[in-house]
């Protein structure tokens, strides 16, 4: 991801005659298609019938997680990010992280930006934090607890 960010920001300046496909409708279509295919593959591979006996417990856990995530977004993430449109897009992305994973966050942010306008900074901040820093923190925490 870091390499893609560096290439997208340096190649158009270093080689101005090369047409770099950033912010084009074709790239947006390919990214939306890739995200949708990933989400469909992950949802279709779930074997929900194996969780049949855990229904009430799962609903209770999901309800508590949803309430906690909504409170965290409303009272911490949104104010900390500045209480503006960018903060709203990041909060929408955080809802995807807290209730799913990074692709869900990207899908949430894409839905908000398609309806209300672009927020390119949010698409840099959130994937870096959720995919990169959280993965590093998880690796360190798992390594610590395994030892």
Output Rg (C-alpha) for the chain, integer angstroms.
18
With beta carbons less than 8 A apart as the criterion, state whether 105 and 124 touch.
no
pLDDT in tens, 104-119: 898 899 999 999 999 9
pLDDT in tens, 31-88: 888 888 888 888 788 787 777 788 888 889 989 999 999 999 999 999 999 999 999 9
What was the pLDDT predicted at 1? 65
Decide: helix, strand or coil at residue 59: helix
Structure tokens belonging to residue 85:
């449109």
Structure tokens belonging to residue 75:
């009272």
Listed by start position, the domains of the chain span: 1-44, 54-147
- The structure tokens 């966050």 sit at 105
- Which residues contact residue 28 at a Cβ distance below 8 angstroms, ignoring those fewer than 6 apart? none
Return left, alpha or beta for 142; rule: phi > 0 is left, psi -120 to 50 is alpha, else beta: alpha
What was the pLDDT predicted at 10? 86
């Amino acid at each position: 991801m870091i390499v893609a960010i560096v290439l997208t920001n340096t190649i158009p300046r270093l080689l101005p005659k090369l047409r770099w496909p950033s912010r084009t409708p074709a790239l947006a279509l390919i990214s939306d298609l890739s995200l949708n295919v990933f989400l469909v593959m992950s949802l279709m591979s779930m074997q929900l019938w194996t969780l049949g006996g855990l229904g009430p417990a799962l609903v209770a856990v999901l309800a508590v997680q949803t309430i906690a995530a909504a409170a965290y977004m409303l009272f911490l993430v949104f104010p900390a990010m500045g209480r503006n449109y960018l903060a709203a897009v990041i909060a929408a992305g955080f809802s995807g992280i807290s209730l799913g994973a990074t692709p869900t966050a990207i899908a949430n942010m894409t839905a908000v930006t398609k309806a209300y306008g672009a927020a390119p900074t949010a698409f840099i901040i959130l994937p870096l934090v959720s995919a990169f820093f959280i993965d590093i923190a998880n690796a360190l925490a798992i390594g610590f607890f395994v030892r």
